[in-house]
Structures are given as C-alpha cells and as structure tokens.
Amino acid sequence: MTFMEFMEKFPTEEKVVGYYLAIRYPNGLHCNHCGSIKVYARKGKIKLFDCNDCHNTFSPFKSTIFEKSSTDLRKWMYAVHLFLNGKKGISAMQLQREIGVTYKTAWRMLQQIRLAMGNVEAKEFFDTIVEIDETYVGGKPRKKNGKDDDDDKPKRGRGTKKTPVVGVVDRNNKKIIAKVAMPNKGGKRLTAKQLMDVLNIVSKQENNNTIISDEFSGYNSLARKNYVHLRVDHSKMFYDGGVHTNNIESFWAILKRGVYGIYHHISVKHMQKYVDEFCFRYNNRDNNMFDMVLKQSVLV
C-alpha cells in the first residue's frame, strides 16, 4: 500500500473504524456482551456502541492492541503502514518523527504491533523436511584490553554470553518459528529439552519427519525419537546434496541485519517480540500483511 492509497482509504477516523469493524466482525457487528446485532454507534463517540437488547455499552477495540490508547486511530493505521513497508521495520525515533507523537508513545505503538505479529497459533508441519538451527543475538565480540592472543579472543557462537535463539523452518512452505532460549533453572542454555520443546511445537514425532541439523550435541536426542535425523558438518561443508540448513541460516541473516541496522540493540526482556516480528514478515511476505496485523490485533 502506497502513501496515496493510504490517504484514500483512511481519510477520516470514521473510515478507520469502519475498516476495522469489517475485519474484526466479518459476519457483521454484534454486541460483545450478548451477541445481538441490534447495536448502534453512540453519538459523538465513534469508538463506543450501545446494544438495544442488553443495554450494555461496548467498544470493538477492547482486548486489542488499540485498547487504552488516546492516540488517533489514523496515526495507529499509519504506524502499521510505515512499520510494514519498511523491509526490516522502523525505529521508535523514526516513527516519532513521522506521526508526531512522543518517543514513549511511538515505542509502545511498535511494541503493540509486534505483539499482534506474534499473536498467532503455531501450526504443525506435517510429513515434511524440517531444518532446525540456533543463533546468538547480541553485541559483536570485542578484544579484551587490546590483546590479540588466541586465548584472550572473545568467543563467538556457542560459549558466548549472547542470547540464543532456536528456529525451525519447513522446507516445503518456507514457514518458520523461532523462540528465544532463556536459561533454565540450572542456568543452562540450549539444552536438549529446550531444543525439543521448540521442535515439538511444529512437528509430530509419529509422522517420521525428516529433521536436518548441524553437529551440535544438543540434537543427539533426536536419535532417540521417531525422527529421520540428518546432519551437516559445517567444519567441512555447508551443503551435502539435500542435507543443509541454508534456509534457516538465511533467516538468521535477515534477523541480524534488522537488529544491527535498525534497532542496534534489543534487550533480552523484549527479544521474543522482535523475533516474532521477523518471523511474521518472513511467513507472510506474499500476503496482505496490513490486514493480517489487524486481524491478529485481537489479543483474546
């Protein structure tokens, strides 16, 4: 959607409300309390509706990312438009300049949009080839005290203090799911259980799915499950016929370029929301992402 198309589609707040109602209530607006279709808009309050049957007042924006926000709905729609048009997103500072709100408001709006992006139920990948891999997100390693000794070089990848993220991608439909691997109660990260928990979200063991991974020892538990487990040794090669993890590796590149280029730094506390953002972009790159975000904006 271009800027001109946006202006034609949403010239007023009333148009925004009408567009959103058509998406949230595809079968027609009804009362959130009793389900009656005998509802009417309250005069002078475009976000409120009254029900003739139960005499309750309700808002179609309740339990959505727009609830408890005093920001104009047109600004919300334009924020969604700008966010999606940016291939790797936009920063809160840029959104602040674009729509004329405070930085705090812009940051919250982007976080709420990311919340909608991640508001999707993971579907299982049936009878297919799945790639699983992990990456580490955080600042680039630096030398200590200017030394260049091998023993003093900061670690990259496994063993680093960065935050690990586990991802699974389906070879056939190119759908991906990724989860931040927080330390368990014992302080360990990337345990076999954590890896299997992510894999079990999208794969059923009884289907004899083919799982492709690298040589990381955490994947040894796959041999004890009902999977066909293939490995690629990255110390020797990255592609051995059809045995590779190039699809998930390419997603990691997109994720990191977005983090380093747009956001520069993201906290561990909010990292899953950023990961969900890039998963949403990757999974819906050929779809109408604007309408999908509005559909997923209902949080309950």
List, for residues 115-165, the tens digit of each pLDDT value: 999 998 766 665 678 889 999 987 665 666 555 555 555 555 566 778 889
d(CA 217, CA 57): 58
Tokens of 79: 């924020």
Whether 224 has a pLDDT exceeding 90, the answer reads: no
Whether 29 has a pLDDT exceeding 60, the answer reads: yes
Q: What is the mean pLDDT of residues 187-211?
A: 78
The band of 99, judged by pLDDT with boundaries at 50, 70 and 90, is very high
Q: What is the mean pLDDT of residues 4-22?
A: 93
Whether 75 has a pLDDT exceeding 70, the answer reads: yes
Q: What is the mean pLDDT of residues 21-25?
A: 93
Q: Are 175 and 95 in contact (CB under 8 A)?
A: no
Q: Which helix (H) or strand (E) holds 134?
A: strand 129-137
Reported pTM: 0.86
pLDDT value of position 289: 93
d(CA 250, CA 205): 26
Q: What is the pLDDT of residues 228-237, one digit of tens each?
A: 888 887 777 6
Tokens of 61: 């924006």
- Which sequence spans correspond to the domains of the chain? 129-265
Residue 255 sits at the vertex; the CA angle it makes with 182 and 300, to the nearest 5 degrees, is 65
Domain 129-265 = CATH 3.30.300: no
